[in-house]
Structure 1
Amino acid sequence: MVQPSVKQQIVLAAERLFAVHGLEGVSLRQISAEAGNGNNTAVQYHFGSKERLVQEIFEYRLPDLNERRRLLVARRRPDDLRAWVECHILPVLEQGEQEGSHYLSFVAMLQQHGRRDLFESLPAELAKPTTDFVERIGALLPHLPEPLLGHRIAQVLAFGVHAAAQRERTRTRGGSVLPFAVHVGDLLDGLVGFLRAPLSATTEVVLGESGPSEPALPLYP
């Protein structure tokens, strides 16, 4: 088994600690200690700041997630709403099943604390699969006007992350969870149903009465 590099050990330690305590609840010194590094300045030497360390966590996890998405799209050639949602969300749910992974809890923490800035600074190539997904899903939902279209898609992506994070935390504690296939099927049913739901007369009225607003932007997992 290949021994993780010092930088990789730090990234994984930061992911674990940030997932539990948040960005503000963890010091660079604590991350060094969690990584088993006797040098208290190791994190600052390799990464410089917490913000850069967060970017490194994304850059460590997202290439594999995005490659899995690419393979699913190539294999399944999705042509309907459920298939596209599955190709994008399934890799997120699979990530939460990996032993030692705290990535989904980490992303959920960032979303909960409104750290959109840390998502928006991702390299374009890492964000592209999500922006492409948003465009394709939007084209399949002509009944939804903006800003509701963007809002629903953003909510679906966020809920997928939080559902996976909750399951990830439960598994880490040794708690009981649904069989994975059942969990995936039920979650996809709910997400697709939410996207397809028609606007009620009440929502149409209040939407017409509200002023112009920007569509919600998704937070990348």
Structure 2
Amino acid sequence: MDTSDRIKLAAIRLFAKLGVEAVTVRDIVAAAELKNPGSLNYYFRSKDELIRQVIVESMGHANELWRRRLEAIEEEGGPGSLREVVEVLVTWPLSEPLDGSVSHTARFLAMALQTRGQTVRSLTREMNYTAYDRAIGHMRNFLSDLPQDVVAQRVIFFFWSLTGFLTAYEAYVDSEARDDSVWHNIDPFANFVDSMVGMLTAPVSKQVATMPKAKRTA
């Protein structure tokens, strides 16, 4: 790896574990094992620009993974079911680190969404990451019998759930723990896909169908 790659790899690991805002330039330089404290500014000008580039690359890796998986089923005339679409998106790792270590991409993106959500959304549009949107388009087609407002909200719930699931699994793998029955008794990915299909296709209750759009209070 060259110096810029070492900086990005060190940064994404720290951001994933400590949060984007908690990590300092000094922390990143130390984690990258660089002797020159000014190396980060030399390559990236600022921490903000480094964060931007790491988001762009992380989203790019995820988009490429989803694109390949989606095109594979589209070339076969699919998707033929909602489950196929969900399976496209429920995959890990979202990237392969250059040093062969465990991916931190899901955790980093979760952290970035918490504190820099607008930046993530803006870059997604700017860089034209379309694979996720294409998958969601297929998903909506299979849910056309449900009210559009319900589907829109459930798609958001799906994305939040997917982010949490991949983040938890990534952290588990990184911990090298091997005795957690949550991840071992049955296939967690297949079960998560089943759960998401169930959530997306669940009948709309009377309460939801008749609830006004104003904020619901307890």
Check whether TM > 0.5: yes
1:88-127 equivalences in 2 (<5 Å)? 88-90=89-91, 93-95=92-94, 99-111=101-113, 113-122=114-123, 124-127=126-129
**Cα contact 2:154–2:200 (8 A) shared by 1:** yes
**Cα contact 2:8–2:54 (8 A) shared by 1:** yes
* Unmatched segments (≥5 aa) in structure 1: 213-221
Aligned pair 1:68/2:73, yes or no?
no
Deviation digits for residues 67-97 of structure 1 (CA, Å, limit 9, x no counterpart): 332222232232221101111222xx23389
Equivalent of 1:24, from 15, 21, 25? 21
Identity within the alignment, %: 25
TM-score, length-normalised on structure 2?
Answer: 0.82
| Aligned residue identity for 2:87 | E
1:50 to partner: Cα distance: 3.0
Q: Secondary structure at the residue paired with 1:192?
A: helix
1:64 to partner: Cα distance: 3.4
| Aligned residue identity for 2:204 | L
**Cα contact 2:102–2:173 (8 A) shared by 1:** no
1:128-167 equivalences in 2 (<5 Å)? 128-167=130-169
Which residue is equivalent to 1:218? none
Aligned-residue CA RMSD (Å): 2.5
Which residue is equivalent to 2:213? 210
Which residue is equivalent to 1:10? 7
Q: Secondary structure at the residue paired with 1:115?
A: helix
CA distance in 1, matches of 2:141, 2:154: 13
CA distance in 2, matches of 1:200, 1:96: 39
| Aligned residue identity for 1:210 | K
Structure 1 pair 86/149, CA: closer, same or farther in 2 (3 Å)? Answer: same
1:211 to partner: Cα distance: 4.4
Structure 1 pair 149/49, CA: closer, same or farther in 2 (3 Å)? Answer: farther
CA distance in 1, matches of 2:68, 2:95: 19
CA distance in 2, matches of 1:40, 1:48: 13
**Cα contact 1:16–1:102 (8 A) shared by 2:** yes
Deviates more, 1:167-176 or 1:11-20: 167-176
Q: Give runs of ≥4 in structure 1 deviating > 4 Å.
A: none
**Cα contact 1:69–1:87 (8 A) shared by 2:** yes
Structure 1 pair 210/89, CA: closer, same or farther in 2 (3 Å)? Answer: same
**Cα contact 1:29–1:41 (8 A) shared by 2:** no
Which residue is equivalent to 1:201? 206
Which residue is equivalent to 1:182? 187
TM-score, length-normalised on structure 1?
Answer: 0.81
* Unmatched segments (≥5 aa) in structure 2: none
| Aligned residue identity for 1:158 | W
| Aligned residue identity for 1:58 | I
**Cα contact 1:63–1:126 (8 A) shared by 2:** no
CA distance in 2, matches of 1:203, 1:76: 34
